[in-house]
Amino acid sequence: MSAPFPERVRLVCQNWAAQIAPNRPEIMALYWAKYLLVYIGGWAFFASFNADYPGFSSPGEWAFTTASFRKAIAWSLFYEMLGIGCSWGPMNGRFKPMTGGFRYFLRPGTTKMALFPGVRFIGGATRTWVEPVLYAVLQLSLLRALIAPEVTAADLWLAWVLIAALGVLDVTIFLAARSEHYWVALTCLVAASSEQLEIAGYKLVWCFIWFWAATSKLNSHFPSVIMFMMNNGPFFPKRLKKRLFAAYPHDLRPSSMAARMAHGGTVIEYMIPVVLLLSPNDVVTVLGLCMMTSFHGFIALNNPNGMPIEWNIMMIYGGWFLFLFAPDVGLTALTAAPLLLAFLLFWLLAVPLVGNFVPSKVSFLLAMRYYAGNWAYNVWLFRKNGKAIQKLDKLVKSTAPMRDQLRGFGLDGATLEMAVALTMSSRFMHFEGRPLLEALPRAVDDIENYEWIEGEVFGGSIIGWNFGDGHLNGKRLMDLIQPQCGFEPGEVRLVSVESQPLLNPTMRWKIWDAATGPIDEGVTDLRTMREQQPWPTGVYAEAILRGS
């Protein structure tokens, strides 16, 4: 901890790379209990309310029915908006309490992200009584549908409308619902005039997710994702972990093995919808579904960032139901519903297309650029005198900063400082961290005078939800909290890095002071960074040390 910043980052990266089993068994047991008992068990419980339910011991008769699939969509929406899905727990920087979500969404005065900031009535910076009431009504409407013997459009039209309305009042809730998937799928239920149209719409949703998720990996980032995820994975062979790196411990760039795994995964993800849509018979369909299950199962078992395991479970379940149990429904059925088809193509084609080529305009979730290692992200730098951090107490929030949460577990002194420092490992070990090597020297005169706080961790504490979307914890968040906190010049600096556009080798970055505004900006050409280690070396280290 006493080493200069460039050396400290190197030690953080090497310390992380040296870990064979970085996650405690009881933490992993807690997560898997949540997946199996709460998520899958909750869906099975609500499916038991279905009409003609044959009993839990006969899953072949109830699990792969349209009624149970509808319950899975409604349950996933309720579950994610509750805050116990992909933004939950210690793997997301939540220790005590482990849940944000409803603790914020039901509380007036907490910070929110309006779609149109500053607009009268709908563009406020904090929740009034309106947002919590609408959120509560939304969750209750979903619960009502979940206990219904048959889920129909009449049961869920209100939920569909409220999710859209809350998306205007508070973007955070719209994204927390994983609306790019579940809300769009809900539209198929609400708007389709027949079960055939409904299922055709679901199939289109699933296929576009696979297509765009694969497309988002067509860059130099994904090998570092495989390297990071596999080294963190509890089930990846321990004897192979050091082979994920080019030359452990001195060269921690992705190895050729990690690159081959990354490219192979991209090809498989492209193949899944092609095989399932063009399958000539049930044998090929089953083989394609086994490939799909292996793909998502492999991700789920190896602790991807954000821990979106429930989402991967839903992709597997949906794949089997839609393509094996409803094989005769083709996408061409949607031509009979032009308005529904136009809606789906807008959200599944137009929005992701813009989001991939102009990522600054669209959330990476709506663009379906999932765990490809290419997100917008932020680093908050707070002056270490303690006064700046204390000003965050002026905000209404339900969780303390991560440092204070860790103190609640008895961590202090050097142990606490090391735990906080290790949060830098994810940012630097991913290839997307390279622009920081150019941006950090221009952010502050002496980085040793500032405390490093990851935007993900910071946003999770302030707005109650975090899942890789840097647009939620960057400049907009700074604009929302500055009037409430009143930071002085030099107390808080923000380094924001935008994700790499498709077919463009650069990443843009900007630096702001919370009180005085823009400081600097630049563009990093990632082609020049491929030989650079994750930590600052050479001219980058010298620039950081001299603060210029």
Spatial separation of the C-alpha atoms in residues 306 and 89, rounded to whole Å? 9
* Alpha-carbon distances, residue 169 vs 104, 105, 113, 219 (angstroms): 14, 12, 7, 34
Tokens of 262: 């990354």
* Tens of pLDDT, residues 485-536: 999 999 999 999 999 999 999 999 999 999 999 999 999 999 999 999 999 9
Give the DSSP per-residue string, 71-100: HHHHHHHHHHHHT-STT-SGGGT--SSS--
- Bridge partners (DSSP) of residue 40 are none
Please list the ranges in the chain whose pLDDT falls under 50: 548
Q: Can you give the pLDDT at residue 23? A: 79
* Tens of pLDDT, residues 4-27: 999 999 999 999 999 887 778 898
Question: In 10 A of CB 356, how many CB atoms?
Answer: 23
> DSSP character for 349?
I
Q: Can you give the pLDDT at residue 307? A: 87
Q: Can you give the pLDDT at residue 414? A: 87
* Phi, psi angle pair for 101, to nearest 5°: 45, -115
Q: Can you give the pLDDT at residue 354? A: 98
SS3 510: strand
Residue keyed to tokens 């529904």: 340
* Alpha-carbon distances, residue 243 vs 190, 256, 425 (angstroms): 49, 9, 18
Q: What is the pTM of this model?
A: 0.96
Q: Can you give the pLDDT at residue 331? A: 97
Spatial separation of the C-alpha atoms in residues 184 and 186, rounded to whole Å? 5
Write out the H or E segment, with its range, that includes residue 451.
Answer: strand 450-454
- Bridge partners (DSSP) of residue 495 are 379, 511
Domain boundary assignment for the chain? 5-10+374-546, 36-361
> Are 111 and 463 spatial neighbours (Cβ–Cβ below 8 Å)?
yes
Q: Can you give the pLDDT at residue 201? A: 98
